[in-house]
């Protein structure tokens, strides 16, 4: 049953379909960008409370 190596696996077809569309649709992974932009959003709210930091960010 393990001797399926002689057959071509359908992996290349799946990869091409994912490349044409969005590979994230098949594998929804948390974006590595989310943590830092959430921190920036939190800092932005704190910066509004502090005018000295708010002016520097603008």
Whether 18 has a pLDDT exceeding 70, the answer reads no
Rounded CA-CA distance 58/48 in Å is: 11
Give the pTM: 0.21
Mark out the alpha helices in 1-58 (DSSP H runs). 11-20, 23-26, 34-49, 51-57
Find the mean pLDDT for residues 27-41.
Answer: 67
Chain-wide mean pLDDT for the chain? 60
Rounded CA-CA distance 10/36 in Å is: 37
Rounded CA-CA distance 20/22 in Å is: 7
For Cα atoms 51, 55, 58, give the angle at the middle one, nearest 5 degrees: 140
């Amino acid at each position: 049953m393990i001797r399926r190596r002689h057959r071509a696996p359908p992996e290349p077809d799946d990869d091409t379909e994912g490349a044409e569309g969005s590979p994230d649709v098949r594998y929804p992974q948390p974006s590595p960008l989310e943590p830092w932009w959430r921190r920036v959003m939190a800092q932005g709210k704190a910066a509004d409370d502090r005018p000295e930091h708010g002016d520097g960010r603008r």
